[in-house]
Structure 1
Amino acid sequence: MKRILGIDCSPKVEKVVSGLFGGNDDVQYEQFHDGIALNGYQMIILEMGRNQEHVVQQICKLRYACNFQNIPIILINARKKDIPSQPYIIAGATEVLSLSDPLPACRHIMNGYLIPGREPLEEEFEYLDPFIKNTCHILQTMASIHVEFKKVYFSNTIRIFGDVSGIMGLSGNAEGTLVVTFYWDLAKSIVAKMMGMEEGEIDAELIHDGVSEIINMISGSTKKEFVGTPYHFEISLPSVVVGPGHQIGYLQNTSVAVLIFQVGTQSFALHVCIKPKTTLS
């Protein structure tokens, strides 16, 4: 049984949602509040209010509370007026549905998002483990912080939720992309520790440079471990993207492993998309 959380849902929307899931799932309802806990839920349903800016802020806070977990956020428009979905998708909504849409189509879409992602294959950890180990080691060494690896899931989307991402292109025996993504507050804290400065002294330029250096060090240290294997890659110059809901280009027909790490109560993600040109023997 899936656990679904409905937020700020009117009786009208609650009735429709109950009909969509037919009592086969555990649907709970509560009002939106700061600090809302989303762990254990497989889907979030939020009814759209009339104030776009307020709804966008709600979605941003909900996406932050997901801690980079792949929890779909479904925004329900209960009004007949057609509403542009782009601002809400950029903020972090997975889908924007309307009660005027055909209910069978809505049911199909929502049930599709409840299909669990596949677990990593044992052989996939042959290339994921070095990234996990080196990410923890680099931040422990450079910033004196304890980093704990929490989980991994696979994604086929190019959307990244976070405020700032360091990107490294991979080429050579293996090709792909490596991306580390932080929310702003954690990025500022880590960069301050790396540079031996107070957080108040860290500006956007220093965060940009610090995140660039983090992805460069993770890539460089992991590259050494793949020498002599089909996963050995060369690295390019890192780049940095800033802004919520940004998109990263990946190789076609190649899954993206999203590794979630925790620092205290905050999380960040490492996106690993790598494809060897030859297979492991």
Structure 2
Amino acid sequence: MDQRFIEAFKSSAASVLGSMAFTQATAGVHYVKQDEQSTGDVSAIVGLTGQWEGSLSVSFAEACICGVVGNMFGEEIPAINDEVEDAVGELTNIISGDARRRIAELGVIIEGAVPLVVAGKGHRVRHMTSAPIWAIPFETPVGGFVIELCLTPAAL
């Protein structure tokens, strides 16, 4: 995995949460994840194609996403509901798009599909390639979330 891709997703997530949800997101140390178990209570998964192929997921703990969406809507959100799930998909789509724009500036074109949202404690996230899954943990004042990135160069 090109480490510049990981940096693009770190920067994009911090930027998107800051501008859309008025929430500071600080990236931790990224690592290779060993299983399919979600780290959060609601996730969005995006298929990626182009010069690199694979998938991306963003998984939020319930307290985190309720706080983030509450900041976006200007009201308290007590639990994950349909609006929260929609927001997870939109946030993931925007983070993905911004990161892919940053990666395009490096000369690499990656396209993204429409996010699929999965909710529920203990759900699994299956990535689309057998490449290593890079996990990027984030902390916010309202809780944590994790971006998972699984990419491999496309076969020509």
2:122 equivalent among 216, 230, 245? 245
| Counterparts of residues 30-45 of structure 1 (less than 5 Å) | none
| Counterparts of residues 86-165 of structure 1 (less than 5 Å) | 124-165=2-43
Comparing 178-187 and 151-160, the one that deviates more: 151-160
2:82 equivalent among 205, 214, 219? 205
Q: CA deviation at 1:172?
A: 1.7
Match of 1:77 in 2: none
Q: CA deviation at 1:197?
A: 2.5
Is residue 39–residue 146 contact of structure 2 (8 Å, CA) maintained in 1? no
**CA distance in structure 2 between the aligned counterparts of 1:179 and 1:134, rounded to whole angstroms:** 14
Match of 1:27 in 2: none
SS in structure 2 opposite 1:219?
helix
Is residue 173–residue 230 contact of structure 1 (8 Å, CA) maintained in 2? no
Q: CA deviation at 1:177?
A: 0.8
Which ranges in structure 1 are unaligned for 5 or more consecutive residues? 1-122
Deviations 1:122-162 (A, max 9, x none): x7321110000000000000011111111111023222132
Q: CA deviation at 1:228?
A: 6.4
Is residue 12–residue 98 contact of structure 2 (8 Å, CA) maintained in 1? yes
Is residue 231–residue 276 contact of structure 1 (8 Å, CA) maintained in 2? no
**CA distance in structure 2 between the aligned counterparts of 1:231 and 1:277, rounded to whole angstroms:** 11
List structure 1 runs of 4+ shifted beyond 4 angstroms. 228-231
SS in structure 1 opposite 2:55?
strand
1:190 equivalent among 52, 68, 76? 68
Which ranges in structure 2 are unaligned for 5 or more consecutive residues? none
Count of residue correspondences: 156
Is residue 58–residue 145 contact of structure 2 (8 Å, CA) maintained in 1? yes
**CA distance in structure 2 between the aligned counterparts of 1:255 and 1:191, rounded to whole angstroms:** 31
Is residue 9–residue 99 contact of structure 2 (8 Å, CA) maintained in 1? yes
Q: CA RMSD in A?
A: 2.1
**CA distance in structure 2 between the aligned counterparts of 1:229 and 1:266, rounded to whole angstroms:** 32
Is residue 230–residue 277 contact of structure 1 (8 Å, CA) maintained in 2? no
Q: CA deviation at 1:230?
A: 6.7
Is residue 178–residue 270 contact of structure 1 (8 Å, CA) maintained in 2? yes
Larger RCO of the pair (alpha carbons < 8 Å, separation 6+):
2
Match of 1:166 in 2: 44
**CA distance in structure 1 between the aligned counterparts of 2:54 and 2:107, rounded to whole angstroms:** 13
Match of 2:58 in 1: 180
Q: TM-score, normalised on structure 2? A: 0.90
Relative distance call for 1:144 and 1:234 in structure 2 (3 A) is same
The structure carrying a bigger strand percent of its residues is: 2
Match of 1:271 in 2: 148
**CA distance in structure 1 between the aligned counterparts of 2:106 and 2:141, rounded to whole angstroms:** 35
**CA distance in structure 1 between the aligned counterparts of 2:108 and 2:41, rounded to whole angstroms:** 29
Q: TM-score, normalised on structure 1? A: 0.52
Instruction: State the identity %.
Output: 26
Matched to 2:69, the amino acid is V
Deviations 1:86-137 (A, max 9, x none): xxxxxxxxxxxxxxxxxxxxxxxxxxxxxxxxxxxxx732111000000000
